[in-house]
Structure 1
Amino acid sequence: MSRLVVVSNRLPLGDNPSGGLVVALEEALSGGGVWVGNSGTPVDAVEERLTPHPGAAFDRLSFDVTHEEHENYYAGFANSVLWPLCHGRVDLMRMRPDYPSAYRRVNRRIARLIAGIVEPEDRIWVHDYHHLPLAYELRQLGVSNPVAFFLHIPFPGPMAFQALPNSAETARWIAAFDLFGLQSMRDVSACLEAFRTVPEASILLNGRMALRGEEVRVASYPIGIDVEEFARTAAAAPPRDTEGRATVIGVDRLDYSKGLPQRFRAFGTLLDRRPDLHGKVELLQIAPPTREEVEAYREIREELERMTGAINGAHADLDWTPIRYIHRPVPRDRLAGLYRAAYVGLVTPLADGMNLVAKEYMAAQDPKDPGVLILSKFAGAAEQMPEALIVNPHDGEDMVQAMVTALWMPLGERRERHGAIMKGMRARDVHWWRRAILADLERVAQGDAPKAA
């Protein structure tokens, strides 16, 4: 009997593990599946073993990384090289000699640990940019099990891909997977084009690529949410008193890819041009901290704090603060209620694999009186949600006009847009996403061609 072996950087811990990925994978893992991930706490020295964590409906096994590996593998190659590269910020890449070697070393160790527990019929599903070399390292150890990969962030374009000092090696890593899943068709095109720049690589039919005898299929599997569960959570949340003001809400990790300075600047321009909106509209921006050890994140935090102060200083009144900026996490159930109460959802990243905030915002709305989603054309979600107000976040005029349109949109149009978006979200929710990838991985295991996603 085959098991599903999931590998990710983060291992869901606690007696009741939660999170979007847990919701997606728990059904497939229950009854014998295994989840392998980082213990979450760097150690002085690692032991060549996986540590069990009982208490879930599936087996959980953690690996350790040292403090030095955390600095060079996680904060270094993963988040100072791959993250900016994939989000179109090659200028923010910080490459040091120790980064790639640590990245390879950690993944090589994880591969050895997985090779020690994997059974012949198991299927392996690797998640995200922390573990691109994993299938290659497993193959070096003789592991022939079917291995899928899913990249939760964008895939870089061909020019950016070549900025990697080890781009040819990275292509070999990708080719070692049987199935390479991406969020959007735009990402699939970017991946195929990147492979065209690699000597010895071949682009085959139906999204397949070959390199040095390895063949991988690249396909789009747009991730979703548990739509009905989130809608119930939002409907049950205590109502928020907006004091008669229209709330424009943004919820993003504090990251330079999210377009927060552009968003604040556009909102400030809206207030400059429309004094009739003073006291009647507010921007509620929730931006929890992330990766604060990386210099680029400290810089954007300071920039947003300056902008918030400047805009509020120019426009605030004794009983009205235009921007409410919260730099800490907000519990999920409360967040659902905030979405439901907000008149406009502002989701304007400069680059994003999918962006589930857009989907959560729409799922949280009251169908009788829904809010309006303003969505960046650079979010993967834009491919699935054309009924949103699609904007270019680099274009301040476009952003301002979209906010005006949203604030004055008639009820009938709001309902029509919301209904169309919800229909698509229900058809391709998080459970569809899991089933689609695992079904295609099984077809690969049986020697059949996967269906087009």
Structure 2
Amino acid sequence: MVSNRVAPIQEGKPSAGGLAIGVLDALKETGGVWFGWSGEIVGEAGAPVLEKAGNVTYATVGLTRRDYDQYYRGFSNATLWPTFHYRNDLSRFDREEYAGYMRVNASLAAKLKLLLKPDDIIWVHDYHMLPFAQELRKLGVENPIGFFLHIPFPVPEMMRTVPPHEELIAAMCQYDVVGFQTQSDQQSFTDYVERTGRGHFSDDGMLQAFGRMLKVGAYPIGIYPDAIAKAAEQFSNRKPVRSLRDSMHGRKLIMSVDRLDYSKGLVERFQAFERFLLNAPGWHGRVSLVQIAPPTRADVQTYQRIRQNLEGEAGRINGRFAQLDWTPIQYLNRKYERNLLMALFRLSQVGYVTPLRDGMNLVAKEYVASQDPADPGALVLSQFAGAADQLPGALVVNPFDLSQMSEALERALSMPLAERQARHTDMMAPLRENNLSVWRDSFLSDLRSVATATSVTEKTVKTVKQGASEARRPSAKA
């Protein structure tokens, strides 16, 4: 496994992001090496540091300040992240940052090569590593290499706003398998290749592009729903959960958990809740919204502004509606342990997950899995989250429509038990059928198959070329 950040998840530690959870849970079953950045800024990048925990080996390297600024803060998060989330108004491009992005990918590839064995399969994750396979190929690495994008992939018109777009797509085609969260993301990628005349996508999922044959597909990442349900029940008596339950005094609870990011639609979410309170005064004093938004990329100015804006909106709405014994919005800008979050989900009557754009959004799936089947909560979910395709029992909303979100909140809070139970059952079935193991196994199965087929094809082509060359060569007798 290769990703920008290697983040071991330890008991009692704050929750990690969806990528880290997915990668680690997948690795725990199969064993393997997880390679990437340690999260540390160093004076000089050295060899990978190896640490073993169970059957997982963590191989981590530091980044210099220059590499961090150009590769991570720069091109990855100031260019690719906003563009891939359809916010090119927030995107900026700097040639030196792009050069740093390519330089760090090349440097990391060289460090990984030293750890590789001939039978290794390499699975690379997310937008920080788009050219990673290309750099490995330059070093002569012939191992199967797959890539999975955890965030959305933009439509061609949006992708072309990134100046080196063609170079990046060509680099992605050096992988043997390129995977996306949804069919829409897959379609955007293949549309780019076909519209630019660089390749052809066939019905069997194979893409011939930039002189290579690769498989392109949708592999929606899953969770382990039964394990989450068990954790939610076990942690229900922890002190923070009891404290929140006691403080509600019988009020209903709307629960929302997101990283502090402009793609999550947090301001719109608060404003829709405000509209709900305006339109449904009967709910005053009877419901509270708890928003947990752990800080992220705190050294990036855009994210500092998001935090200030969200704190301002929470204060304004509370000032408008609060009573002596009731605060409408509880906004918490901190991290919580993952299992504790599952218990908080179980305590709530409504899950409120309304990103403006998201690759999958595992929070939506975790909310459903954590519910008590006998008395489950209802899920209000954005149509622009990949999870909306897999959760048929959710109340799907357009996060740009505040009135629609307001109405969905009221419907969720008033939903009869029988309907909530039916919707929960409808959502748990696909969560079990497409769990995390299915995501991992389907991707790796395709990677092995494609790599084997490609290897056979390349050997055949090489043999044919050699035969043709020998046929043209004059014989010794002649």
The interval holding the TM-score normalised by the smaller chain is: over 0.9
CA apart distance, 1:27: 1.3
Give the whole-Å Cα distance in 2 for the aligned partners of 1:357 and 1:100: 32
1:313 equivalent in alignment to 2:319: yes
1:153 equivalent in alignment to 2:151: yes
Aligned to 1:3: none
Give the whole-Å Cα distance in 1 for the aligned partners of 2:90 and 2:54: 39
Aligned to 2:132: 134
Aligned to 1:39, the other structure's residue is in SS state: strand
Give the whole-Å Cα distance in 1 for the aligned partners of 2:168 and 2:205: 18
Aligned to 2:36: 37
Q: Which moved more, 1:172-181 or 1:10-19?
A: 10-19
Residue number among 436, 439, 445 corresponding to 2:451 in the alignment:
445
Aligned to 2:30: 28
Give the whole-Å Cα distance in 2 for the aligned partners of 1:365 and 1:175: 41
Aligned to 1:289: 295
Superimposed CA distance per residue, residues 375-396 of structure 1 (whole angstroms, 9 cap, x where no aligned partner): 1000000011122000000001
Structure number with bigger Rg: 2
Residue number among 258, 261, 266 corresponding to 2:264 in the alignment:
258
Residue number among 422, 433, 436 corresponding to 2:428 in the alignment:
422
Aligned to 2:249, the other structure's residue is in SS state: coil
Aligned to 2:226: 228
Residue number among 158, 167, 172 corresponding to 2:165 in the alignment:
167
- 333 and 272 in structure 1: CA distance in 2 versus 1, 3 angstrom threshold: same
Tell me if the contact between 1:203 and 1:210 (Cα under 8 Å) persists in the aligned partners: yes
- 435 and 375 in structure 1: CA distance in 2 versus 1, 3 angstrom threshold: same
Give the whole-Å Cα distance in 1 for the aligned partners of 2:454 and 2:115: 27
Give the whole-Å Cα distance in 1 for the aligned partners of 2:138 and 2:196: 21
Give the whole-Å Cα distance in 2 for the aligned partners of 1:448 and 1:420: 40
Q: Match of 2:380, as an amino acid?
A: I
Aligned to 1:168, the other structure's residue is in SS state: helix
Matches within 5 A, 1:405-420: 405-420=411-426
- 153 and 15 in structure 1: CA distance in 2 versus 1, 3 angstrom threshold: closer
CA apart distance, 1:55: 3.4
Superimposed CA distance per residue, residues 258-317 of structure 1 (whole angstroms, 9 cap, x where no aligned partner): 001110001001111211111001110000000122222111111111111110001000
- 190 and 14 in structure 1: CA distance in 2 versus 1, 3 angstrom threshold: closer
Matches within 5 A, 1:337-352: 337-352=343-358
Q: Which moved more, 1:113-122 or 1:280-289?
A: 113-122
Give the whole-Å Cα distance in 2 for the aligned partners of 1:246 and 1:399: 17
Q: How many residues align?
A: 440
CA apart distance, 1:117: 2.2
CA apart distance, 1:186: 1.1
Query: Structure 1 regions of 5+ residues with no counterpart?
Result: 1-5
Superimposed CA distance per residue, residues 55-80 of structure 1 (whole angstroms, 9 cap, x where no aligned partner): 34222211221011101100111111
Aligned to 1:19, the other structure's residue is in SS state: helix
CA apart distance, 1:199: 4.5
Aligned to 2:259, the other structure's residue is in SS state: coil
Give the whole-Å Cα distance in 2 for the aligned partners of 1:160 and 1:146: 30
Aligned to 1:189: 187
Superimposed CA distance per residue, residues 336-365 of structure 1 (whole angstroms, 9 cap, x where no aligned partner): 111001100000000000000001111110
Superimposed CA distance per residue, residues 224-282 of structure 1 (whole angstroms, 9 cap, x where no aligned partner): 11111110011112153331111111100000000011100010011112111110011
Q: Which moved more, 1:216-225 or 1:192-201?
A: 192-201
Matches within 5 A, 1:70-109: 70-109=68-107
Superimposed CA distance per residue, residues 394-447 of structure 1 (whole angstroms, 9 cap, x where no aligned partner): 001110111111111111000000001001101111111111111111111321
Tell me if the contact between 1:8 and 1:126 (Cα under 8 Å) persists in the aligned partners: yes
Tell me if the contact between 1:14 and 1:55 (Cα under 8 Å) persists in the aligned partners: no
Aligned to 2:207, the other structure's residue is in SS state: strand
Give the whole-Å Cα distance in 1 for the aligned partners of 2:156 and 2:8: 37
Aligned to 1:120, the other structure's residue is in SS state: coil
Give the whole-Å Cα distance in 1 for the aligned partners of 2:329 and 2:138: 54
Higher share of residues assigned helix? 2
Aligned to 2:392: 386
Tell me if the contact between 1:152 and 1:183 (Cα under 8 Å) persists in the aligned partners: yes
Query: Structure 2 regions of 5+ residues with no counterpart?
Result: 14-19, 456-478
CA apart distance, 1:448: 8.0
Q: Which moved more, 1:251-260 or 1:9-18?
A: 9-18
Q: Cα RMSD (Å) of the superposition?
A: 1.7
1:373 equivalent in alignment to 2:379: yes
Give the whole-Å Cα distance in 2 for the aligned partners of 1:389 and 1:331: 27
- 382 and 63 in structure 1: CA distance in 2 versus 1, 3 angstrom threshold: same
Q: Which moved more, 1:86-95 or 1:15-24?
A: 15-24
Aligned to 2:250, the other structure's residue is in SS state: coil
Q: Percent identity?
A: 44
Give the whole-Å Cα distance in 2 for the aligned partners of 1:206 and 1:81: 33
Aligned to 1:329: 335
Q: Match of 1:392, as an amino acid?
A: N
CA apart distance, 1:205: 3.5
Tell me if the contact between 1:384 and 1:424 (Cα under 8 Å) persists in the aligned partners: yes
Aligned to 1:64, the other structure's residue is in SS state: strand
TM-score (norm 2): 0.89
Q: Match of 1:287, as an amino acid?
A: A
Superimposed CA distance per residue, residues 140-182 of structure 1 (whole angstroms, 9 cap, x where no aligned partner): 1111111111111111111111011101101111100000011
Q: Match of 1:43, as an amino acid?
A: V
